[in-house]
Structure 1
Amino acid sequence: MSQPASTEAYKKEQTFTNYNKEQGEAYAQGRPGYHPTLYQYIIDTHIATGGQLDTLLDVGSGPGTAVRALGVNFSHAIGLDPSESMVATARSLGGATSIAESIRFEVSTAEDLGTSLPNRPIPNASVDLITAANSAHWFNMSQFWTTAARVLKPGGSVVMWMSGKTVMHPSVPSSAAIDAAMDDLEETHLRSYMVRGNFMTRNRYIDLPLPWTLDEPISGFDQSAFVRKEWDIAEDPFACQPGASLDGFEKMFKTMSTVTRWYEAHPDAIGTEQDISKVYRRTIECLLHEAGVDKGKEMLKGAMRGVTLTVKRSA
């Protein structure tokens, strides 16, 4: 299933960038946030390595889920996303910092990091922490690291994390059978809609370019301070998701980039029994019922194998 991400050249992300207003709102409603322990790990790691809590810059922020959770620790917080619809959704949902300042949301790419905004561009050496939640695999990392080196304060941090493929928590009846069925469905229906970024998440960012691994390394980062922390269902609460109904599963499923691309290719199937989300749902329902779960009481609990990468700006 997996393939080295490096075998395919970087291509600009278009799926989420081209979201319309309805898609942006649906994404905000369907995509769950992250475990509080993960957010605390990010803050603790940043502080323990000399990071300050003045300015947070969240990149690829989507509807603002991560920046709202982390922004309460900072005096100032900014969310950047290339999608106007995602930014409009984030602004409608709002958010506040530790000094009750509104979180600022702007349309900008990860490569520019807001440095070219017409109003209040991000200044050099002004940011304490840059975060990227499930988004770095869509970045041109060479350009991102070049700009990050400019806007980060000395001793600042970059924390990127991803939560890859979801599996069923062992507490879910027939969890192994559901996982196997989802693997088969993915191979049959969604494999052809996977792109470079999707494979990078499956590999847990093992080949995500870092400043010192680029063909032309970016100076200004402390390689000796780099920390890679993998999440594993048996060890970390980071991986666990709250329980969800099948309705909740469908909403989350539809936020996946592969599923969005499937819908673009099969507009006539939307809302029918051939709808890919319905196919997944019916398969899971059947397996839960076979395991003795009553109709109307189907609940899922997912877990994700992921990773957190922490990169430090040289002090």
Structure 2
Amino acid sequence: MAGLFDRQAEAYADSRPKYPSEWYSKIAALTPNRTLAWDVGTGNGQAAIGVAEHYEQVIATDVSKDQLKHATPHPKVHYVHTPFSMSKEELASLVGGEGSVDLITVAEAVHWFDHPTFYSLANHVLKKPGGVIVVWGYKNCTVDPAFDRVMERFRNSSAAYLHPNNHYLSDYYSSLPFPFESIGVGSEGNPLMLELPVEYSFDGLLKWISTWSVVPLAKASGVDLLNEDMVKEFESAWGGSNLTRTVINKAFMIAGKPKI
């Protein structure tokens, strides 16, 4: 799915929600050591930067070169392009080998992964004991009843173009495979529910929506989901193009440790 986000890389970097700093503090408290973290599917590095506030080194990887071109530099974050052709052994070596990683994070990306392959690799490189993997996502933004009704119509009009893997987001990762031992922050079938508030201008909102995977998927079928009429509907419900408003996303998180 890397190519799905390549053309949107700049907009993605500018408009995707930033995760609250307290999330990273709570995540860091889950690991006894804070030497090495691996942020997988890092995109523009937004999660890697947050993790770096608590760990000595973060290796941030992505299959998309275009996304990495827009990643935020940080002295403790090492960005690496990991093409699909890279073997499991090469990936393991990249992060230091077996039992080398204190924390693995995957922000708004694990639903795209080959789960058996990724989880096998994660289990291999996590420290035992002490290593932790944390995955999270978000879905279904709300503003107020008037805006939410327009957004619901947009979702309904776009449903036919969703990628099959999107169902993991739709059920808040409740059906996501997660073969790790629970450590009290969600579990397989029972994610921890959170809120992710974001301040957006109207232009920022549109830019963010344009990065949703369904938009380029629909466009590939000749359908412009963000056509002029749809934009006007959003603008009216927003209250005007000059307003900045708070958007609340439903977020969900699961953390675990290797089963020994």
TM-score, normalised with respect to structure 2: 0.87
Contact 2:136 2:252 in 1 (8 A): yes
Rounded to whole Å, the distance in 2 between the matches of 1:110 and 1:161 is 22
Q: Would you say 1:197 and 2:165 are equivalent positions?
A: yes
TM alignment of 1:112-151, pairs within 5 A: 115-116=89-90, 120=94, 122-151=96-125
Contact 1:230 1:305 in 2 (8 A): no
Contact 2:182 2:255 in 1 (8 A): no
Report the CA distance shift for 1:63/1:133 in structure 2 as closer, same or farther (over 3 A). Answer: same
Report the CA distance shift for 1:296/1:30 in structure 2 as closer, same or farther (over 3 A). Answer: closer
Rounded to whole Å, the distance in 2 between the matches of 1:40 and 1:109 is 31
AA matched with 1:310: A
Using the TM superposition, give the Cα deviation of residue 114 of structure 1 relative to its aligned residue in structure 2, in angstroms.
6.9
Report the CA distance shift for 1:300/1:76 in structure 2 as closer, same or farther (over 3 A). Answer: same
Contact 1:110 1:144 in 2 (8 A): no
Rounded to whole Å, the distance in 2 between the matches of 1:24 and 1:84 is 9
TM alignment of 1:1-315, pairs within 5 A: 13-16=1-4, 19-20=6-7, 23-44=8-29, 46-47=30-31, 51-90=32-71, 93-97=72-76, 103-108=77-82, 115-116=89-90, 120=94, 122-154=96-128, 155-168=130-143, 175-188=144-157, 190-211=158-179, 221=180, 223-225=181-183, 227-228=185-186, 229-232=191-194, 238-241=195-198, 243-266=199-222, 276=226, 278-289=228-239, 295=240, 297-314=242-259
Rounded to whole Å, the distance in 1 between the matches of 2:126 and 2:86 is 13
Report the CA distance shift for 1:52/1:84 in structure 2 as closer, same or farther (over 3 A). Answer: same
Rounded to whole Å, the distance in 1 between the matches of 2:52 and 2:202 is 31
**Deviation sequence 1:152-179 (CA, Å, 0-9, x none):** 11120000001112111xxxxxx11211
**Deviation sequence 1:82-125 (CA, Å, 0-9, x none):** 111112222xx31123xxxxx11112269979741598564111
Structure 2 residue aligned with 1:100: none
TM-score, normalised with respect to structure 1: 0.73
Rg larger in 1 or in 2?
Answer: 1
Higher mean C-alpha displacement, 131-140 vs 114-123: 114-123
Match of 2:206, SS state, is helix
Match of 2:102, SS state, is strand
Contact 2:202 2:241 in 1 (8 A): no
AA matched with 1:135: A
Structure 2 residue aligned with 1:235: none
Contact 1:61 1:79 in 2 (8 A): yes
Match of 2:252, SS state, is strand
Contact 1:54 1:128 in 2 (8 A): yes
Rounded to whole Å, the distance in 1 between the matches of 2:241 and 2:112 is 38
Unaligned runs of 5+ in 2: none
Contact 1:59 1:110 in 2 (8 A): no
Report the CA distance shift for 1:149/1:113 in structure 2 as closer, same or farther (over 3 A). Answer: farther
Using the TM superposition, give the Cα deviation of residue 299 of structure 1 relative to its aligned residue in structure 2, in angstroms.
2.5
**Deviation sequence 1:20-48 (CA, Å, 0-9, x none):** 4xx3222111212112222222222x23x
Unaligned runs of 5+ in 1: 1-12, 98-102, 169-174, 212-220, 233-237, 270-274, 290-294
Using the TM superposition, give the Cα deviation of residue 314 of structure 1 relative to its aligned residue in structure 2, in angstroms.
4.7
Using the TM superposition, give the Cα deviation of residue 240 of structure 1 relative to its aligned residue in structure 2, in angstroms.
1.6
Contact 1:231 1:239 in 2 (8 A): no
Rounded to whole Å, the distance in 1 between the matches of 2:84 and 2:185 is 21
Report the CA distance shift for 1:157/1:32 in structure 2 as closer, same or farther (over 3 A). Answer: same
Using the TM superposition, give the Cα deviation of residue 151 of structure 1 relative to its aligned residue in structure 2, in angstroms.
0.6
Rounded to whole Å, the distance in 2 between the matches of 1:276 and 1:303 is 21
Match of 1:260, SS state, is helix
CA RMSD of aligned residues (A): 2.6
Report the CA distance shift for 1:119/1:148 in structure 2 as closer, same or farther (over 3 A). Answer: closer
- Count of residues in correspondence between the two structures: 255
